[in-house]
């Protein structure tokens, strides 16, 4: 009897313990789920904020005007204008005339306000039009011109259109003309090609990302060219050839430490070495790429070594046992097998480099640069620095452009990750 009682008691205790164990497991799972949900929530908030702020930047308000290419206003010879004269002609005057014709009863001081409806950079497309087709001289054409940034903001609803509302920079008269133009069907939002074709500008409606995209491309190309061969060679040497002693231990510790050095320090190093000592050009993607290479190198070396460590030693033994030299063992077996890991590490390093801002500020890549760089030696901006510059600009229209720039940056990051995944898949199939 007593025996049976202890059995029951102990099985009771067992059941209790079991219950506790399962409860602990459930709690742990719930915590994990909660953590993921929280992370996804923050991600969603981030994306929604960026999208809601930035999506409107991909369209741009345009105003349709009947533009007369009048030789007298342009200041060119009406019969046979030289292309030099056409290039430097007064297209701003043409636009002013067109605006005056659209609102004939506006006069005097109010005219200056009227001209602000259209972007100050709207004359460039007119020049291109006329230079491409000089026959337009003397004729009148209906043209969609980029609207001023304040008109754009009002049309997109980012600021109120009632007079006196906070943030509204349009006068009552300007709002009246805008409403008038709308009634005539002469206001429309079109895809913002400027954003993807031009460099930076002080005027939000004329500012584009292309300069920064090209700059980032040049920088990352330099980074990849320097980093990948150097990083792979270093990890091969350290992992497969170097003797294991105090010196290689020291090197390994230092490489790990380098990966943790704040990137701004690398920027200062680049400033001291590349700019001051070697006298390389300031603000150039060449220097930016070299500095980013310094930052990415430890990441690539560490990832490369980890990938090579993951190749089973039995593969090395098999190759060596067949009489392969150590180099053949590495190039025929270890490297191909670890390539997916090395590529992942490299692309992670490159993605890191693409988003890096602080070190580039140190080497002068924060300058305001309008021209699209033609080579890695030309001064240029890069995407994250462009985000930084635009975020710093006071105009309301730069807020949406900042978000648009972030979207473009994230798009490139996503593309890089996709490329990494596809490359890995390809390599994995082959082996």
Q: Cα–Cα distance between 272 and 290 in angstroms, integer?
A: 13
Pick from 182, 199, 78: nearest CA to 130? 78
Q: Which is nearer to another protein, 203 or 240 (CB)?
A: 240
Among positions 320, 377, 413, 421, the unique one binding another protein when judged by CB under 8 A = 320
Task: Write out the two tokens for 173.
Answer: 């008269």
Give yes or no for a contact between 125 and 145, defined as CB atoms under 8 angstroms apart: yes
Kindly tell me which of 80 and 244 has the beta carbon lying closer to another protein.
244
Which helix (DSSP H) or strand (DSSP E) does residue 261 occupy? none
Q: How far is the CB of 319 from another protein (least distance, A)?
A: 8
Which residue, 367, 393, 392, 398, is CA-closest to 380? 367
CA–CA separation, 103 and 91 (whole Å): 19
Binding to another protein in span 389-418, by CB under 8 A: none
Would you state the structure tokens that stand for residue 288, as one six-digit string? Answer: 């930016």
Number of residues that bind another protein (CB under 8 A): 20
364: left (phi over 0), alpha (psi -120 to 50) or beta: left
Token pair 């059941």 is found at 15
* Helix residue spans in 210-325 (DSSP H): 210-236, 246-259, 263-270, 285-309, 313-321
Return the residue of 109, 164, 323, 394 that touches another protein, per CB under 8 A: 323
Site for another protein in 238-257 (CB under 8 A): 243-244
Alpha-carbon span 365 to 379, nearest angstrom: 7
- Using CB under 8 A, which of the segments 143-151, 156-164, 323-331, 364-372 binds another protein? 323-331
Helix (H) and strand (E) counts in the chain: 19, 3
Bridge partners (DSSP) listed for residue 61: 189
User: Nearer Cβ to another protein, position 82 or 314?
Assistant: 314
Choose between 108 and 243: whose C-beta lies nearer to another protein: 243
Rounded to a whole number of angstroms, the minimum distance from the CB of residue 306 to another protein is: 18
Distance CA(380)–CA(282), nearest Å, equals 9
Residue 333 or 396: the one with the smaller Cβ distance to another protein is: 333
Query: Which is nearer to another protein, 19 or 326 (by Cβ)?
Result: 326
Shortest Cβ distance from residue 379 to another protein (Å)?
48
For another protein, give the closer residue by CB, 332 or 395: 332
Q: Which of 116, 333, 396, 401 binds another protein (CB under 8 A)?
A: 333
Question: Closest separation between CB of residue 244 and another protein, Å?
Answer: 6
**Footprint of another protein on 357-396 (CB under 8 A):** none
Among 317, 371, 374, 411, binds another protein (CB under 8 A): 317
Residue whose tokens read 């960026």: 50
Q: What single string gives the DSSP state of each residue in 221-248?
A: HHHHHHHHHHHHHHHHIIIIIS--SHHH
Cβ contact 189:155 at 8 Å = yes
The helix (H) or strand (E) run that includes residue 203 is: none
Q: Which is nearer to another protein, 108 or 313 (CB)?
A: 313
Q: How far apart are the first and last CA of the chain?
A: 67
The one among 319, 330, 339, 350 contacting another protein by CB under 8 A: 319
Q: How far is the CB of 384 from another protein (least distance, A)?
A: 40
Residue 229: CB minimum distance to another protein, A: 24
Is the Cβ–Cβ distance between 65 and 188 less than 8 Å? no
Site for another protein in 296-315 (CB under 8 A): 312, 314-315
Q: Which is nearer to another protein, 163 or 312 (CB)?
A: 312
Q: Which stretch binds another protein (CB under 8 A): 96-104, 185-193, 266-274, 331-339?
A: 331-339
Kindly state the smallest distance separating residue 321's Cβ from another protein, in Å. 4
> How far apart (Å, rounded) are the C-alpha atoms in residues 100 and 70?
14
Comparison of 82 and 245: residue with beta carbon closer to another protein:
245
Residue 324 CB, shortest distance to another protein, in Å, is: 5
The three-state secondary structure class of 60 is strand
Q: Among 52, 142, 325, 375, which residue interacts with another protein (rule: CB under 8 A)?
A: 325
Burial class of residue 100, CB neighbours in 10 A (0-12, 13-18, 19+): middle
Nearer to another protein, 144 or 427 (CB): 427
Q: Write down the least CB distance from residue 157 to another protein, Å.
A: 59
Q: Which residue has the tokens 């929530």?
A: 41
Query: Where in 337-356 is the site for another protein (CB under 8 A)?
Result: 337
List the one residue from 15, 328, 418, 419 that touches another protein (CB under 8 A).
328
Chain residues that interact with another protein, rule: CB under 8 A: 243-244, 312, 314-325, 328, 332-333, 337, 431
């Amino acid at each position: 009897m007593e025996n049976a009682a202890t059995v029951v008691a102990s099985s009771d205790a067992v059941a209790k313990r079991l219950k506790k164990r399962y409860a602990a497991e459930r709690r742990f799972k719930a915590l994990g789920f909660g953590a993921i949900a929280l992370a996804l929530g923050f991600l969603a908030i981030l994306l929604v904020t960026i999208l809601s702020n930035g999506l409107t930047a991909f369209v741009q308000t345009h105003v349709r005007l009947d533009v007369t290419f009048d030789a007298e206003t342009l200041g060119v010879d009406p019969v046979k204008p030289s292309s030099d004269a056409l290039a430097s002609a007064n297209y701003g005057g043409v636009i002013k005339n067109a605006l005056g014709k659209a609102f004939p009863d506006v006069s005097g001081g109010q005219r200056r306000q009227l001209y602000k409806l259209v972007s100050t950079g709207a004359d460039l497309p007119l020049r291109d039009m006329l230079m491409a087709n000089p026959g337009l001289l003397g004729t009148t054409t209906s043209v969609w011109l980029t609207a001023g940034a304040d008109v754009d903001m009002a049309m997109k609803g980012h600021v109120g259109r009632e007079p006196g509302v906070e943030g509204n920079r349009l006068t009552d008269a300007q709002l009246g003309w805008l409403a008038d133009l709308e009634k005539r069907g002469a206001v429309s939002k079109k895809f913002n090609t400027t954003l993807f074709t031009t460099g930076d500008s002080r005027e939000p409606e004329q500012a584009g990302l292309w300069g920064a995209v090209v700059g980032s491309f040049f920088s990352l190309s330099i980074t990849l060219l320097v980093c990948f061969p150097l990083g792979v060679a270093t990890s091969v040497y350290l992992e497969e050839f170097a003797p294991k002693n105090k010196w290689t231990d020291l090197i390994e510790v230092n490489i790990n430490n380098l990966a943790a050095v704040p990137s701004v320090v690398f920027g200062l190093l680049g400033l001291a070495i590349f700019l001051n000592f070697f006298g390389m050009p300031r603000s150039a993607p060449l220097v930016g790429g070299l500095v980013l290479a310094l930052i990415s190198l430890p990441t690539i070396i560490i990832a490369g070594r980890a990938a090579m460590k993951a190749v089973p030693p039995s593969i090395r033994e098999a190759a060596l046992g067949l009489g392969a030299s150590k180099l053949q063992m590495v190039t025929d077996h270890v490297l191909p097998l670890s390539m997916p890991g090395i590529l992942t590490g490299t692309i992670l390093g490159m993605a890191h480099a693409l988003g890096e801002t602080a070190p580039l500020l140190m080497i002068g890549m924060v300058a305001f640069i309008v021209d699209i760089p033609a080579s890695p030696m030309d001064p240029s901006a890069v995407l994250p620095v462009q985000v930084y510059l635009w975020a710093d600009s006071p105009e309301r229209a730069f807020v949406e452009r900042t978000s648009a720039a972030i979207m473009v940056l994230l798009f490139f990051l996503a593309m890089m990750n996709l490329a990494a995944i596809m490359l890995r898949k390809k390599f994995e199939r082959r082996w």
